[in-house]
Amino acid sequence: MMAYLGERKIANFRVRGAKKPHKNSENFKKRPGMSEEHLALIRQLPCCVCRKPAPNDPHHLRSGTGEAGGGLRSTDKHTVPVCRADHDDAHGAGSRNEQAWFLARGIDPHLLAADLWGVTGDNEQMKRVLAAHWENKP
């Protein structure tokens, strides 16, 4: 909407919509599926790609979650453990097709993330889930 004073434009006003929650805001941290405890357990797991021992990074899946986009990452329930080198590679060369990047390495990231979230809170069970995914590689 433009405001005019006679023939001269004096301001450019725009109605702003509701803002998305910032990643450091309380609303962002309280979304369903967010859990610092889950992330701490993910960090204690071996890398799901190369099996490097812990500590590792929680990789928030960007594709196929319906949550990411517009500067908003997916919730913590959509994370898999990856080492720093694989994390950088997933965000670099594999960033165009994250799902294909993981599948080429024998990992179904969405199934793994869902299985890990299903047993969150039990680190030993999470390790067994990860081992089962390694055994069932295509």
pLDDT the model gives residue 62: 81
pLDDT, tens digit, 9 for 90 and up, residues 102-123: 999 999 999 999 999 999 999 9
Which carries the bigger pLDDT value, residue 117 or residue 15? Answer: 117
User: Given pLDDT bands bounded at 50, 70 and 90, which one contains residue 27?
Assistant: low
Residue 125: inside a domain:
yes
| CA-closest candidate to residue 79, choices 101, 56, 95, 104 | 56
Give the residues across from 8 on adjacent strands.
5
pLDDT the model gives residue 32: 73
Residue 9: inside a domain:
no
Residue 7: inside a domain:
no
Residue 127: inside a domain:
yes
pLDDT the model gives residue 45: 97
How do 8-12 and 2-5 pair as beta strands?
Answer: antiparallel
**Domain tally for the chain?**
1
| CA-closest candidate to residue 108, choices 118, 97, 100 | 100
Residue 12: inside a domain:
no
DSSP code of 96? G
pLDDT, tens digit, 9 for 90 and up, residues 45-100: 999 999 999 999 999 988 766 665 566 778 889 999 999 999 888 887 655 788 88
Give 43: exposed, middle or buried? Use CB within 10 Å, 0-12, 13-18, 19+.
middle
Residue 121: inside a domain:
yes
- Boundaries of domain holding 41: 31-135
pLDDT the model gives residue 75: 85
Q: pTM for this one?
A: 0.74
Residue 21: inside a domain:
no
User: Given pLDDT bands bounded at 50, 70 and 90, which one contains residue 125?
Assistant: very high
Residue 3: inside a domain:
no
